[in-house]
Structure 1
Amino acid sequence: MAFLLILVIGCSRPAPGPYRLWEGKAWEGKISLGDPAEQVTRLLGRPSRMLEDGERRYYEYGYAEVTVDSSSGKVASILLRGNWQTSAGASAGDPVDKILRLYGAVPYHPPVLAYPQRGITFVLTPGEIAAPEGSKGPGWIASWARIYWPSPRR
């Protein structure tokens, strides 16, 4: 009887919540960088749109975009929109200050905040939060996150 209960618990769907990203590695429980393109369509289904630019294929799912290297057929990057959280603790909707505290200061120009050595880039949008003192307009918040292979440190 206990075995049956463990089996049912082990097979149940995970609780709803944010999509977790591991910087430079994976979309937790779904796709890892370097996975074959077939894995993407097997897990996420047929994309609503697929584009190709010669070097890369882009699988568009609305809430996510998976980039596949055309020559190897492997996942090169994953972009999530909306309900995401990184392993370092950043989440969709976080203000820029929180991302800078978690990942460190880098030169940035909205709408992009990139950390190539960690394998993550944040796309920012004007948010509904209060503007930082001395600035004009709304503050910037993280809206999208893209993970990719980290760049070697120099």
Structure 2
Amino acid sequence: MQIVFYLLLTLIVFVAMEGVTWFTHKYIMHGFGWYFHEDHHQPGYPHVFEKNDFFFVVFAIPSILLFYFGTWNGINFLFFIGLGILFYGIAYFLVHDVLIHRRFKWFDKTNNYYLKGLRKAHKIHHKHLGKEEGECFGMLFVPLKYFRM
């Protein structure tokens, strides 16, 4: 029964991370953290790494700490919170960096309805080159209108 709780906790944290991502993207990345996020909104940024990659490190730190404290005296619930954050980070990397921005050419051609909707929503987000007037700050859950376009 405990494993069901831990799996459910991991799933809840994974889903909750979409809200954390939306909030962070809208109010931090497009706010006082714009210095790190700005290059991500510049078309044709030629480097393998962006200053925006700093946020991957920021999100990895809590996950690493939760893994550490979640295995201190055997595995406890903190480990599974860290696991939910890690799984979201992997999904974010695969969807945002691989599928949408094609920083790696792994999934170059997809006809998947859901993935095409995510890509459309993110293109709308990037049509704004400045930090103001942004829209579509989420990553995995975007408004339904982008699936109808």
What TM-score results when the alignment is normalised by the length of structure 2?
A: 0.27
Query: Counting strand residues as a fraction of each chain, which structure ranks higher?
Result: 1
Mark the structure with the bigger radius of gyration: 1
What TM-score results when the alignment is normalised by the length of structure 1?
A: 0.27
